[in-house]
Structure 1
Amino acid sequence: MLLYLRLFKESFSFAINALTNNKLRTFLSLLGVTIGIFSIIAVLAAVDSLDRNIQDQLSGLDKNTMYLTKFSFLTTDVPRWQRDNFPQTDSNDFDFIRRNVPDIAASAYLIFGSPQTVKYESETISGVNISPASNGIYDIDNIKIEEGRFYTEPESINGAPVIVLGYSVAENLFGNVNPLGKQIRAYGRKLTVIGVIKKMGGLAGNSDDSAYVPANFVRRFQSGGINGIPGAIMIKPEKGIDIGAFEGVLKQKFRAYRGLKAGDPDNFFVNKMSGQTDQIDAIIGSMNLMGWIISGFSLLVGGFGIANIMFVSVKERTNLIGIQKSLGAKNRFILFQFLFEAVILAVIGGLIGLFFVWVVSLIASQFTGDFEFVLSAGNMFLGFMLSSIIGLVSGVIPAISASKLDPVEAIRTGM
């Protein structure tokens, strides 16, 4: 055991000396591995950070939540002309669903609208995403109130001119002034602020730049033509029920309500949150795969660089190898000497690459606001292991060729 430890120690010392004696060559070899490790870990860290922020954003939503509307959120086989002729989902549909479909934990009627300009005295904010929705949205979106309250069911039914602001909207409009009870203008009309939503941050921070108003308030002055205002019914089923059976009952009752016969196709879509999250997971997986493929070329170049440098190193030190073997050095000593040199090169390059990823992650987090760019311990360990494997694979053939040199021929060739 001690013999092997001594062998490792001496081989390691020889490898370090060889690297320090050829600083330019070492630097060029490190550069290839550093770029490779930096590329792949940076891509993986970016994708992981994006995935984590998306999951944080969706964490408050039940994946079984459904959107009943004339639009399909995912790709569909229904022709465009047919979808365009579907009737809009309106408040009457919502009232029917709420009263006749069992096992509903919460439901809401939502109107799709465009970003609005919000004003308070001299302050103006444009592009605010105001969601006209019935008060059931409070439970479905898992809204958390920082100040004040959310609008009640009577306010929702009566279309009261009230508004609940996102954190950033309230902060930009009012600064340090208490916004509760203040009147602002949106849709060209006066609205009373009754609540402010807690700051979310991250990708979920888009709710910080949004607001909620009763859907019936908007229905008073907006008209969507023949098919009505574009909207959707949000449905959150009770926990523990069979989602497939629930969806079947929902479709059956709504088809009967719309007068559809047995052979008629649905003139609506039931979009599930689970389908959207599955699509997001698939996109994240594809991004990871593309990151591996693109960064793999950088790693390949780094590996070839180390292998090339090691072959050159063996060629230059052929005479020294012959002398070492003539003095009794075993093949495994020569093998470990060059193998250690390759692994040390790769590991140092990998660590430098990880350091640069860490620096970039800190800088990126500063410039991306609430988006948190995270370099996880798993990615750091992966980078270390990858660099070690690159060193082993790149150095094993030069090391074997060096260990099998004949001492006499090696000395003669080196002279």
Structure 2
Amino acid sequence: MLVYLRLLKESFGFAMNALRSNKLRTLLSLLGVTIGIFSIIAVLAAVDSLDRKISKELSSLDKNTIYLLKFSFGPSDIPQWKREQFPNVKYTEYVYLKNAMTHTKQLGYQIFTKRESIKYESKTVSDVNIVPVSYEFIDIQGLEFEKGRFYNESEANSGTPVIVIGNDIAKSLFDESEPLGKNVRLYGQRFTVIGVLKKEGSSLGDSNDTAAFIPVNFVRRLYGDNNPNLTNVIIFKPENGVDMEEYKSEITQKLRNFRGLKAGEIDNFFINVFGGFLDLINGIISSLRLGGIFISFFSFLVGGFGVANIMFVSVKERTNLIGIQKSLGAKNRFILFQFLFEAIILCVIGGTIGLSIVWLLSILLTSLLDFEFVLSFWNILIGSGLSIIVGVISGILPAISASKLDPVEAIRTGM
């Protein structure tokens, strides 16, 4: 054991000596390993950070939440021309299903509409995501408030012009003054601010920080129920422990009966389970991860060739020393491990530099952007492991060639 510790120490010394005596050559070789480790770990860190962010943003939603609308969240066997003929879900269908469905914790109605501007006195916030929803939405999505409240059932049903605004909108319009009770202008009408949401930060798609929630019946009164520019959705939150297939079948049966669809006619609506949407996102993230690793692998390969090249040069330069070591009784495996350890140490140095760059970059991007980049311990472990593997692969052939040198010929070559 002591012999191998001494061997490791000597190999580290040789590696440092190679760095000192052939700085440019060694640094150019290590550059490939550094770029390779940086590329792979940067991709893994970015994808993991994105995955963590998405999971955090969607954690408030139940995987069993169901979205009923005329579009599908994923691929569909129904031709596009036929899907384009599907009708929007109606408010009357929401009312019917709310009374007819069993084992339902919450059932809400939402309209997807275009972005608008909100004004308060001389200040205007543009590109606001307007979210017309029924009063149940707060329990479905679990909105958190900094101050105020969400609108109640009476306000929602009557379409009262009240509004709940995101944190960024409140700061842009009111600065440090009290927003509750103030009147803002939207759709050319006055809306009373009754709530301000907690700061959420950037998220997948739109953030609630730049959103405004209003009663869905106000928009229905403004645009009507058959506006082709709007997309309506009914949101179901089933009770815990419900058999999802039976629950979906109940929705299908009741809506088909309400729409008067005959036997043999296809469903002209889609039942989208939120868990399936999460699976789709996870599949996309996995594809991004694999694609990034595959591309980064080539730079990693170049780095391995660079280290192998410098190790062959190192063997050639130290041929005389190898001959002397062998003549003094050094075993073949001692010479082999000496060069193998040296290759591993060089790659670990390159990998450490690559990991350090990723770490510094993650700190910089986190401070500049509203997005948390995380270099996890697992990714550090992967980077270190890959550095060792590349060291072994790139150093094994030079090490074997050094260990098989004839001592007499090696000494003669160096004279």
The aligned residue for residue 323 of structure 1 is 324
TM-score (norm 2): 0.96
Question: Does structure 1 residue 161 correspond to structure 2 residue 161?
Answer: yes
What secondary structure, in the 3-state scheme, does the structure 2 residue paired with 1:184 have? strand
Paired with 1:354 and 1:80, the residues of 2 have a C-alpha distance of 47
Deviation at 1:145, TM superposition (A): 1.3
Deviation at 1:375, TM superposition (A): 0.9
**1:218–1:344 CA distance, 2 compared to 1 (3 A):** same
Question: Does structure 1 residue 288 correspond to structure 2 residue 289?
Answer: yes
Q: Percent of aligned pairs with the same residue?
A: 57
Paired with 1:222 and 1:381, the residues of 2 have a C-alpha distance of 57
Do the aligned partners of 1:29 and 1:345 also contact (CA within 8 Å) in 2?
no
Question: Does structure 1 residue 242 correspond to structure 2 residue 243?
Answer: yes
Paired with 1:3 and 1:9, the residues of 2 have a C-alpha distance of 10
Do the aligned partners of 2:148 and 2:194 also contact (CA within 8 Å) in 1?
yes
> Which amino acid is 2:237 matched to?
K
Deviation at 1:303, TM superposition (A): 0.4
Question: Does structure 1 residue 337 correspond to structure 2 residue 335?
Answer: no
The aligned residue for residue 381 of structure 2 is 381
The aligned residue for residue 94 of structure 2 is 94
Do the aligned partners of 2:70 and 2:88 also contact (CA within 8 Å) in 1?
yes
Paired with 1:215 and 1:7, the residues of 2 have a C-alpha distance of 75
Deviation at 1:405, TM superposition (A): 0.5
> Which amino acid is 1:182 matched to?
K
Q: How many residues align?
A: 414
What secondary structure, in the 3-state scheme, does the structure 2 residue paired with 1:85 have? coil
Deviation at 1:10, TM superposition (A): 3.3
> Which amino acid is 2:330 matched to?
A
Do the aligned partners of 2:91 and 2:225 also contact (CA within 8 Å) in 1?
no
**1:7–1:320 CA distance, 2 compared to 1 (3 A):** same
**1:384–1:329 CA distance, 2 compared to 1 (3 A):** same
What secondary structure, in the 3-state scheme, does the structure 2 residue paired with 1:200 have? coil
Paired with 1:83 and 1:9, the residues of 2 have a C-alpha distance of 70
Q: Any residues of structure 2 matched to 1:176-187 within 5 Å, and which?
A: 176-187=176-187
Do the aligned partners of 2:113 and 2:230 also contact (CA within 8 Å) in 1?
no
The aligned residue for residue 271 of structure 1 is 272
Question: Does structure 1 residue 38 correspond to structure 2 residue 31?
Answer: no
Paired with 1:211 and 1:281, the residues of 2 have a C-alpha distance of 29
Q: Any residues of structure 2 matched to 1:1-400 within 5 Å, and which?
A: 1-203=1-203, 206-223=207-224, 225=226, 230-369=231-370, 371-400=371-400
Deviation at 1:4, TM superposition (A): 3.6
Do the aligned partners of 1:12 and 1:337 also contact (CA within 8 Å) in 2?
no
Q: 5+ residue gaps in structure 2?
A: none
Deviation at 1:400, TM superposition (A): 1.1
Paired with 1:9 and 1:31, the residues of 2 have a C-alpha distance of 24
Paired with 1:84 and 1:14, the residues of 2 have a C-alpha distance of 70
> Which amino acid is 1:361 matched to?
S
> Which amino acid is 1:217 matched to?
F
Paired with 1:252 and 1:259, the residues of 2 have a C-alpha distance of 10
Deviation at 1:18, TM superposition (A): 3.6
Paired with 2:112 and 2:6, the residues of 1 have a C-alpha distance of 74
What secondary structure, in the 3-state scheme, does the structure 2 residue paired with 1:203 have? coil
Paired with 2:283 and 2:133, the residues of 1 have a C-alpha distance of 30
Deviation at 1:414, TM superposition (A): 2.3
TM-score (norm 1): 0.96
Do the aligned partners of 1:202 and 1:372 also contact (CA within 8 Å) in 2?
no
Q: Deviations over 1:362-403 (max 9, x none)?
A: 12112222x111111111111111111111111011011101
What secondary structure, in the 3-state scheme, does the structure 2 residue paired with 1:16 have? helix
Paired with 2:173 and 2:200, the residues of 1 have a C-alpha distance of 18
**1:228–1:87 CA distance, 2 compared to 1 (3 A):** farther
What secondary structure, in the 3-state scheme, does the structure 1 residue paired with 2:207 have? helix
Do the aligned partners of 1:87 and 1:227 also contact (CA within 8 Å) in 2?
no
Structural RMSD (CA): 1.6
> Which amino acid is 2:148 matched to?
G
Paired with 1:166 and 1:226, the residues of 2 have a C-alpha distance of 27
Deviation at 1:8, TM superposition (A): 3.4
